[in-house]
A and B are shown apart, each in its own frame.
Chain A
């Protein structure tokens, strides 16, 4: 369990800048998720940490020790590959024992360690099978077991669940969290799936297309208080309003949206760039909106619209509502049905309510 520190890392691949001046500290013993769209360089960053590729500029630290120039096989960092990369000619036991044998551990100790981990991963019945005889989920477990059996300081996971079906993925996510909790090894989990990242991470970083880190924080911080419209849109779904900032210096700031009116903003989020009359973006999550045909009191904001389409998701229903200014809003309502809910249908005129505390103001 050691931290990873990246200092001003740059990396180009065949002429294109993939990692652009990234500095980042991954705390020791934490489950860290690196989230970004496909092709943003997150896998490259992982490969740099593992030592599969060398950095062009910058420094890498493992704990206090610089490892920038250490060759891959000398770094106590293991990686779980997206395609698992199990050795096809070795059975489950030999795959897992691979690193232990390289370390020249006594035979008895190797057996003990491997059997212990086989049991923990429910692989006892597959010890002498070849990787091709295993299911996707089992291969995933073997890959994981192989990477942690020699107790690395840091475990890197490169989209490890991408090849699994949804149910299995949910289960593996929980198992990964439990495993990390037990081992206290630093986990770095790379994914383009915000659901996975939000589920597993203690801390997470969002990368953009330019190979830069947009925001670092806990899943809740990232989701509730995104720093940029990129983060707001990439993590979860959101509605973005274009508008102009009004009453900026009062305790009652507002956003003026053309053809729609003025809406109240939270006062506490004042930042240096916020000037009276400047263009701003407002992000409003679909689940923070209350939809009703009736008049409802105690909300700080209200907008009127017409229901365009309704998508039933099971646990929630998504309404697509067209506002006066032709902006289309997404609204999620929980289908809790504790009490009879009002029926909202296509083409109904509805009121959309939200609290000013639930919006996020973003720089345009």
Chain B
């Protein structure tokens, strides 16, 4: 009888095969096809004519630079807004939540179980001309005329932050949850103030959670097209909007692929940059 050398050497690899096949078939191959499509010239009837850079250079145009720039701004600002809301929330849940912890986490997760479009319509009611926000501000006398909120960048940002917040809270919460509170006590005891303790002990030790949350929010936010479309009234074009328009329009699918490759490559570069930036912040607090 053949006995495996160790459990880790043979068993799990076999278990992983279906997932690997799935990844290759439905992720790696499609990405490869998209990349290839971006560099190949087709005839009207779909014959391959040769290699080309034209589809890439087509987007060397200030209009598209602006689109990509706006997408970066959207992704980064959403990640920062989510972080600044999520960290205090996660900190509170982990250290002050006590027995309400699970209930509070449950409230945080409830929106995930409701349909996305329902959220959007709910926010319409909140933000529309005679909606909740305007009525509240009018009745308090803070404003005299209803504000225009729908179809503005503000509406987009509110919905983005609302939708992506749990993705930031959960990884930060789980890293704070595992945090050994006596480290905080030790830091105070050695003469550190709350801020010094936060900066030198808590923040670096929860950086894994922050980094995970950052990428869970930053990367999908970059390609987001449903929220800007619905909340922004299609007035502002982002990468996701442009790609979807090229793909859905007749005969421009390969241009959409090319734009995806360009913006995807830039996103990857920025992600690597942020990965190391956040890593540096977590490292030695003193040089």
Interface residues of A (CB under 8 A from B): 50-52, 71-74, 77-79, 81, 83, 85-90, 94, 98-99, 101-103, 146-147, 150
Contacts and interface: CB of A to CB of B under 8 A. Distances in A.
Given A89-B204, A89-B205, A94-B284, A73 B193 contact: yes
A298 to B, nearest CB: 57
B247 interface: no
Contacts of A88: 183, 205
B75 to A, nearest CB: 28
Interface in B192-211: 192-193, 196, 200-201, 204-205
Give chain B's interface residue range (CB within 8 Å of chain A): 20 to 34
Contacts of A86: 186
A85 B182 contact: yes
Contacts of B186: 79, 81, 85-87
A88 B196 CA distance: 17
B286 interface: yes
A85 B183 contact: yes
Given A83-B180, A94-B286, A50 B201 contact: no
5 contacts: A79-B185, A85-B180, A86-B186, A87-B201, A89-B205
Contacts of B191: 73-74, 99, 102-103, 150
A73 B197 CA distance: 11
Residue picked from B188, B191, B201, most chain A C-beta under 10 Å: B191
B112 to A, nearest CB: 32
A79 B186 CA distance: 8
Contacts of B196: 102
B185 A81 contact: yes
A106 to B, nearest CB: 13
Given A89-B204, A94-B286, A101-B286, A73 B188 contact: yes
A79 B187 CA distance: 10
Contact of B189 (A79, A101, A103): A79
Contacts of A73: 188-193
Interface string B254-287: 0000000000000000000000000000101010
A40 to B, nearest CB: 20
A99 B186 CA distance: 10
A77 B185 CA distance: 13
B185 A52 contact: yes
A90 to B, nearest CB: 8
Interface string B171-187: 00000000010110111
Given A89-B282, A94-B284, A146 B190 contact: yes
